[in-house]
Amino acid sequence: MAQKYTIPKGTRDFSPEEMARRNYIFQTIQSIFKKHGYLPIETPAMENLSTLMGKYGEEGDRLLFKILNSGDFLKNLDTEDIENKNLGKVTTAIAEKGLRYDLTVPFARYVVQHLNEITFPFKRYQIQPVWRADRPQKGRYREFYQCDVDVIGSHSLLNEVELIRIIDSIFRELNINVVIKLNNRKILTGIAETINAPERLTDITTAMDKIDKIGVEKVYEELRGKGLDEDTINMLEPVMNLSGDNTSRLNCLKELIGATDTGSQGLEEMQTILGLTKQLDLKAEIKLDQVLARGLNYYTGTIIEVIAKDVSIGSICGGGRYDNLTGVFGLPDVSGVGISFGADRIYDVMNELTVFPEEALNSTDVMLVNFGDKEAAYSLGILEQIQQTGIKAELYPDAAKMKKQMKYADQKKVGYVLLIGEEEMNTGIYTLKNMKTGEQTKGNLEEILTILKS
């Protein structure tokens, strides 16, 4: 009796069916990255903890998977630290490495380490798993893939436009209707300055950002709870209630916050981006969302978030511009802009919308039935000729009962089955069965190949 073996919670095995769907997503994303001139890099699964610690806040440090040193990992350990339950010091003594938590910090480390080999502007993409010791729940895993694309070493807003085009192309190809929400850290700063509360930027923006979920009144309540007075809150009202299309929002914002230096700079950037995207053939809806706030610890300009229109699941892609990507590694003033696609959520959205194209999920094109040693030996030669044309083909390895072989072909979703028994060997006329329609055709190899290739 087989025992019950499992994998660590929050991790997953992927079956051939799931892999076909996942690879369809990855290949689509990757081919569009490439089409825009982005090139791949990869970094190791493990980084030195000194590279990772302190980059994701206290919670991030806690959620990092740490790897026990090899050999005598106890040699630097002070037993007093154990008795005092000093987890931090014990960790430092016994673990030097950790699994990567995202792709951004390893990328920043990569840029600093390989500075002299890189041609700037550096357009790179990176598709790799990341690991977080988070509490697993529906749609949240401890091992998941990120697909990041960034360009660094250029301040041009054409980069933002390019990323918007990439988002549009990818979701168009994947058949997901999306809204691309745009904002700018500088607009948020302009708002905070206009209501004379520049130091409350984070409080204000994180509250405003919830308007869609909790409504205006609850946002005001939260702001009151954070100590903002009624006058200040009243001044926020016009920003909160902004509506209409992008042009009218932009014009209103100019009146509201255009008097601040930072605000007006943010609006100018927004106007440039909206102007350039307007002339493009985009399918996605572009929406200026003046309350959108994310990544305020590092984003300094444009903020991007992508929402699926027909499925409620949160954002499926997001990013922004950061003027100090490599600053924590001692190389300041490297400006870049990048976005990250959440493959797992996109997978869930596509499953819910049932938009995976059937041809992407195909396995073997044709299976040759095995009638016995002699027939199998003969079939090997036919198999070789079929595969040489690029068709995916296999010969059932055992001379099992026909029923068993057909069941295999059926469960593996093989397109056709080719029957070569003794009579077929003698005449050179084979029987081909279409597994979907059940239709049978007879023909020589050339005729069979014509059907298989069609």
Minimum CB distance to a copy of itself smaller for 298 or for 408? 408
DSSP string for 64-117: S-EEEPSS-TTTT--HHHHHTT-HHHHHHHHEEEEE-S-SHHHHHHHHHHTGGG
Site for a copy of itself in 434-453 (CB under 8 A): none
User: Six-digit token pair at 444?
Assistant: 């020589």
- 176: helix, coil or strand? coil
Q: How far is the CB of 106 from a copy of itself (least distance, A)?
A: 9
What is the edge-to-edge ordering of all strands in the sheet holding 178-184? 39-40, 122-131, 143-152, 336-342, 315-322, 302-308, 178-184, 285-288
140 makes contact with a copy of itself (CB under 8 A)? no
Q: Is 323 in the site for a copy of itself (CB under 8 A)?
A: no
Q: Could you say which of 53, 67, 201, 235 contacts a copy of itself (CB under 8 A)?
A: 67
- Cis peptide, bond prior to residue 121, ω within 30 of zero: yes
Helix (H, G, I), strand (E, B) or coil at 436: coil
SS (H, E, C) 323-366: CCCCHHHCCCCCCEEEEEEEHHHHHHHHHHHCCCCHHHHCCCCE
| Closer residue to a copy of itself (CB): 376 or 448 | 376
How near is the Cβ of 252 to a copy of itself at its closest, in Å? Answer: 25
Region at 264 (left for phi over 0; alpha for psi -120 to 50; beta for the rest): alpha
Q: Between 203 and 365, whose beta carbon lies closer to a copy of itself?
A: 365
- Candidate ranges 36-44, 255-263, 297-305, 436-444; the one touching a copy of itself (CB under 8 A): 36-44
Nearest approach, Cβ of residue 173 and a copy of itself (Å): 12
Q: Which two structure tokens, joined as six digits, stand for 105?
A: 């910090």
Q: Which of 58, 59, 72, 199 binds a copy of itself (CB under 8 A)?
A: 72
Q: What residues between 344 and 373 interact with a copy of itself by CB under 8 A?
A: 363-364, 367, 370
Q: Is 179 in the site for a copy of itself (CB under 8 A)?
A: no
Q: Are strands 285-288 and 178-184 parallel, antiparallel or unpaired?
A: parallel
Rounded to the nearest whole angstrom, what is the least distance from the CB of residue 453 to a copy of itself in the complex?
14
In angstroms, the first-to-last Cα distance of the chain is 47
Query: Considering the complex, what minimum distance in angstroms separates the CB of residue 248 from a copy of itself?
Result: 23
Structure tokens, 14: 């992927």
Q: Which of residues 255-284 bind a copy of itself (CB under 8 A)?
A: 276, 279-281
What CA–CA distance (Å, rounded) separates 133 from 426?
Answer: 63
The reply to whether 299 sits near a copy of itself by the rule CB under 8 A is no
| Closest to 171 (Cα-Cα) out of 322, 315, 16 | 315
User: Quick one: DSSP state of residue 213?
Assistant: H
User: Max alpha carbon distance in the chain (Å)?
Assistant: 95
Alpha-carbon dihedral angle through residues 408, 412, 413, 417, given to the nearest 10 degrees: -40
Least distance in angstroms from the C-beta of 395 to a copy of itself:
6
Q: Which is nearer to a copy of itself, 35 or 309 (CB)?
A: 35
Q: Is the dihedral of CA 226, 231, 232, 235 positive or negative?
A: positive
Here the tokens at position 72 are 């005598």
Minimal distance, residue 354 CB to a copy of itself, in Å: 21
Q: Which stretch binds a copy of itself (CB under 8 A): 226-234, 292-300, 374-382, 446-454?
A: 374-382
Q: Which of residues 99-128 bind a copy of itself (CB under 8 A)?
A: 99, 109-110, 112-115, 117, 119-121, 123-124
Q: Is residue 37 close enough to count as binding a copy of itself by CB under 8 A?
A: yes
Q: Judge contact between 16 and 363, C-beta under 8 A.
A: yes
Q: Considering beta carbons, is residue 67 or 242 the nearer one to a copy of itself? A: 67
Mask 398-417, x = binds a copy of itself (CB under 8 A)?
Answer: x---------x--xx-----
Query: Could you say whether residue 148 binds a copy of itself (CB under 8 A)?
Result: no
CA atoms within 13 A on the CB side of 402: 6
Q: Interface residues for a copy of itself in 224-253 (CB under 8 A)?
A: none
Among the listed residues 56, 101, 131, 322, the single contact to a copy of itself using CB under 8 A: 131
Residue 14 C-beta: closest distance to a copy of itself, Å: 4
Which of 54, 88, 140, 158 is the binder for a copy of itself (CB under 8 A)? 158
- Which neighbouring-strand residues pair with 395? 368
Nearer to a copy of itself, 296 or 435 (CB): 435
Minimum separation from the CB atom of position 187 to a copy of itself (A): 22
Please select the residue that binds a copy of itself; options are 58, 59, 70, 437, rule is CB under 8 A. 70
Q: Kindly report the CA angle at 143 between 59 and 178, in degrees rounded to 5?
A: 90
Q: Rounded distance, CA 133 to CA 153, Å?
A: 33
User: Can you tell me which of 24, 150, 165, 208 binds a copy of itself, judged by CB under 8 A?
Assistant: 165
Minimum CB distance to a copy of itself smaller for 131 or for 430: 131
Stretch that binds a copy of itself, among 158-166, 249-257, 317-325, 427-435 (CB under 8 A): 158-166
